[in-house]
Each structure stands twice: as structure tokens, then as C-alpha cells.
Amino acid sequence: MEVSEPRPSLDGSRGEKKNYAERLSRAIAQDVAQGLRNAFPGITPLADGTRHETPARTAKGFKKLDVGYSTPELGLGLGVSIKTLNYRDRKTKRYTKNYSRVDNELRAEATDYHVRQPYSVLAGLLYLPADSCDDGDPDRPTSVSSFASAVRYFRSRRGREQPTDDPELFEAFYIGIYEFEGSRRGQVWYFDAGASPPRARRPTEDETWSHSEVLALITSTYDERNDPPFEFVE
């Protein structure tokens, strides 16, 4: 996957930034659905770009879902919630300002879907610019980058293993790091929020997952819930 659309500057208008965030989220949702389509026929948004943010039944009526797979037999089988934080706060020069707001949104989504449909599998994807890894001071042991802070903050939003577990949790949660400038603009790689992050540097290739690998992990999480593999000893 590539996040290739140019990002408006920090000095751009609020409207420009909002429109960019919406276009980015739609592009990501389309790409995630496309990558999952072979395993989940009928997943939305559809291949032709229609049915973005398809409503799904929750404990509190219908809510829009970024990526969703439903069947008459399962109800909601798989949902993927996509969040983006694209700009540093002007005062702190960090990306951490809206972590609490995003977490509250995620908690509400997970609860409303899981209370109504406890067997559904929900995956969260939070996208941050790659320079969120660069605002920690490696020479100060107490200094932590915005990226590492995100891993620590959103780790508590993952880990739901059984349908009887806390409905506020997601079955899986990954942080996507994307380049928005330079020769690598558009590239994305992912970090598992359950892993230990580097404190004040960018994660290495062997510490991250590619887009296709993350989609395979999400599919595996779904299969473990709905069709767990049976294994024999040698």
C-alpha cells in the first residue's frame, strides 16, 4: 500500500487538513478492503469504490464502519477501524495531543459492536507520519517519541481473545507509519501495539510488518475466532 497523496503543509487551513484526512482514510479503507477481498467476498468498501463507511448494527443503532465484512449467518464477522493523526500540535510539536480523543472513539466503537455481536472480530489501524518516531531524544532516558507513546497508549485497546472478554477491546491493533515526504513518500509499514517499541528511533524493517503481512495477521485472527485450525502431533 502507498499513501501517495501530497499532504497539505502545517500552515494550511483547517478545511484543507480535514479534507486531506478524509481522503486519506477513504484511500486506506479502499486498499485494506481490496487486500482482504479474496478472503472476505463482499467486504466493503466494494472494489468499484462504492459503499464506503457502510452502516453496521451495534448496541446503539447503526454506526458507520470503515471496512466491514458481514454475512446473514455471521452478522458482522470482521470490522476494521481506521484512524489517522497527520499533524503535530503547534505548541508541543508532537503528535500526542489527540491520543485520548482517538482512544475514546475506539473504545465506543468496540463496545457498541461487541455488545451487539460479541463474536465479531475488530481490528484497529492507527496511522502516524514517520517523523512521529523522530521527536524523542535518544540521549535522554525519559524522552519518548510520539510513535513510542502511541504504542504505549493504545496497547490497552487490544488483546480481546474470546467473545466473553471485555467488549471495549479490539482483537488486534496496529500502528501504521507512513512517509509523507522525500524519496520514500507513500511507503507504509506497521508495528504491533502489543510489541515493545524503540524509545526514540524509527523501528527497523525486522521490527515491523508490511501491509500484506498485517492483512494476513488480521485474517488469521478472524480464522482463529471462526474456523480455528486443527493440528495433529507428529
Alpha carbon distance 89, 98 (integer Å): 9
Evaluate whether residue 128 is within a structural domain: yes
Evaluate whether residue 145 is within a structural domain: yes
What pLDDT does 12 receive? 76
pLDDT average, residue stretch 41-68: 84
Evaluate whether residue 232 is within a structural domain: no
What pLDDT does 36 receive? 97
**Number of domains present in the structure of the chain:** 1
Evaluate whether residue 234 is within a structural domain: no
Residue ranges making up the domain that contains 221: 14-226
Mean pLDDT value across the chain: 91
Whose CA is closest to 122, among 83, 168, 72, 63?
A: 168
Alpha carbon distance 109, 63 (integer Å): 8
pLDDT average, residue stretch 75-89: 94
What pLDDT does 57 receive? 65
Global pTM?
0.91
Alpha carbon distance 219, 225 (integer Å): 10
Residue pLDDT, tens place only, 112-124: 999 999 999 999 9
Evaluate whether residue 8 is within a structural domain: no
Per-residue pLDDT at 105 exceeds 60 = yes
Per-residue pLDDT at 60 exceeds 80 = no
Residue pLDDT, tens place only, 1-27: 556 667 777 777 888 888 888 999 999
Residue pLDDT, tens place only, 145-177: 999 999 999 999 999 999 999 999 999 999 999
Evaluate whether residue 9 is within a structural domain: no
Going by pLDDT thresholds of 50, 70 and 90, the confidence category of residue 192 is very high
What pLDDT does 227 receive? 80
pLDDT average, residue stretch 207-221: 97
Alpha carbon distance 42, 36 (integer Å): 10
What pLDDT does 5 receive? 67
What pLDDT does 3 receive? 63
Alpha carbon distance 207, 117 (integer Å): 33
Percentage with pLDDT > 90 across the chain: 71
Evaluate whether residue 6 is within a structural domain: no
Evaluate whether residue 7 is within a structural domain: no
What pLDDT does 233 receive? 87
